[in-house]
Structure 1
Amino acid sequence: MPTTYGQFCPIAKAMEVLDERWMMLVLRELLLGSRHFNEVRRGVPRMSPTLLSKRLQTLVRAGVVQRHCEGRQVTYHLTPAGQELMPILEAIGRWGLRWMQELHDDDLDPYYLLWDIRRSLDLEAVPDTTTVLSFSFSDVDPPVRHWWMVIRRQGVDICDFDQGHDVWAHVRTTLRTLTLLWRGDSSWSETLRSGDVVIDGQPAARRTVPRWLGRSFLADTPRPVPQDLEQVPTSLRTPRLP
């Protein structure tokens, strides 16, 4: 277990488990549906596998997660104690959207963005056949500029190479624009009208792709009113799209 704070305070006892680096992001992945080690890892791509293993072990020892083995397959499941963290995670996310608004270039990751978007795809609305969306981000380096989202009823894959499937629609934008759109800092109607997002492909693509991709479950978080923002340092405010 982590080093204790030596206090009986319930907040201190909770933070003995929760305040280790990466811990809340590991919990985010589990709370949002990841069950396998590699699924969790794909949601925290900058975290080492060794450290992820240690954090999962800590959660198991703390009774927050149960580790299930079926043959060689290992899955992780939240206990009631872990499930109770969902409203806490959501509250932290909404607080972050309201008050920690600055996004540095280092905060923007095309793989993680598309991995996060894939969680909310309405697979029932997608055609029965394999459907592919391609993405081109003009503001990132060429090696990581092009991505493909391969959608099947049984799941969604995110690829950084063309698997050879026919592309149903192609989304052209900047990584920052799609990130702000996903976060709820702008709307699909605004970005399509301004040309900040361009969708090419099937005739229905311009109407259908925004419905499929949607926005983050936190996107409807009310933002601070102008007089509240005046009290926040300029460096902490997210730049709005023109």
Structure 2
Amino acid sequence: MKGYGQFCPIAKASEVLGERWTNLIIRELGSGSESFNALRRGLPLISPSLLSTRLKSLERAGVVQRDETDQGVNYRLTRSGKELFPIILELGAWGHRWVRSNMSQEDLDPSLLMWDIHRNVDVDYFKRISNKDRNVLLFEFTDYQTRYHRWWLVIQDDDVDVCLKDPGFEVDLHIITDTRTLTHYWMGDISMAKAKQEKHITIDGDTTLKKDITTWLGRNYFATIESAS
């Protein structure tokens, strides 16, 4: 990115953060993604080459560190990046209050939605109430009829895996909805009770999981922030 030609710290910071996708990469790293593939799961519309370019830029800026491991290459925030992450969250809080009121169809992405849900599921809840080694949740989106129609969350010990293909395990809970409704719930725009009352969400399966869905499913980090509009 071409510099602003100013000594102002805001200008210098913008030279690091002003490129497209950069702030979202920091969001993903701060949310626990470490591998290149995990970053792509949280950023499904970025090309591999562009992601690689942005990571290299953040490395040069001292925001990201690249580590070679036995399992492959991992990326993590440096001290500088960790100090930056809360600022990115504050940017998100401002966005939730002021510029998120209108979500177009292009903004609705089941891949990102399920990725965000999978890393926020309360695994401790399942440890407390389940007598099974594994719990499987099936999300079915009625507005998709092909590849993104069904998603499985497989919860085992401390791990939650998100699967686009049937993992072959018995399903404990089946949630049928559309992408817009679940996104609105996830972001705090509607309650689960209202979504079910208006028949935008139907839930079948284990009675306890069904009753406690708002406990174990949770919501997005920004969901409690009220819109300014």
With structure 2 as the length reference, what TM-score do the two structures score?
0.92
The correspondence for 1:151, drawn from 155, 170, 175, is 155
Give distance in 1, aligned partners of 2:207 and 2:169: 18
Structure 2 residue matching 1:69: 3-state secondary structure:
strand
Deviating beyond 3 angstroms after TM superposition, the runs of 4 or more aligned structure 1 residues are none
Question: Contact 2:122–2:218 (CA<8 Å) still a contact in 1?
Answer: no
Question: Contact 1:199–1:205 (CA<8 Å) still a contact in 2?
Answer: no
**Match for 1:23: what amino acid?**
T
- Post-superposition shift, 1:56? 0.8
The correspondence for 1:212, drawn from 199, 211, 216, is 216
**Match for 2:217: what amino acid?**
L
Q: Does 1:12 align with 2:14?
A: no
Where do residues 18-167 of structure 1 align in structure 2 (5 Å cutoff)? 18-71=17-70, 73-100=72-99, 101-126=101-126, 127=130, 129-167=133-171
Where do residues 161-200 of structure 1 align in structure 2 (5 Å cutoff)? 161-200=165-204
Question: Contact 1:172–1:197 (CA<8 Å) still a contact in 2?
Answer: yes
- Post-superposition shift, 1:51? 0.8
CA RMSD of superposed structures (Å): 1.5
- Post-superposition shift, 1:72? 5.6
Structure 2 residue matching 1:57: 3-state secondary structure:
helix
Give distance in 2, aligned partners of 1:147 and 1:165: 13
Give distance in 2, aligned partners of 1:84 and 1:180: 30
1:166-208 Cα shifts (integer Å, max 9, x gaps): 0000001111000000001011222233322111001212212
Structure 1 residue matching 2:140: 3-state secondary structure:
strand
Structure 2 unaligned segments of length 5 or more: list them: none
- Post-superposition shift, 1:91? 1.5
Give distance in 2, aligned partners of 1:69 and 1:146: 35
- Post-superposition shift, 1:143? 3.4
Give distance in 2, aligned partners of 1:157 and 1:67: 24
Structure 2 residue matching 1:204: 3-state secondary structure:
helix
1:15-70 Cα shifts (integer Å, max 9, x gaps): 11101111111111001111111111110011111111111111111111111113
Change (3 A) 1:41 1:142: closer
1:119-147 Cα shifts (integer Å, max 9, x gaps): 21111212451211101111223332221
With structure 1 as the length reference, what TM-score do the two structures score?
0.87
Structure 1 unaligned segments of length 5 or more: list them: 230-242
**Match for 2:115: what amino acid?**
W
What residue number does 1:221 align with?
A: 225
Give distance in 1, aligned partners of 2:144 and 2:125: 31
Give distance in 2, aligned partners of 1:86 and 1:188: 30
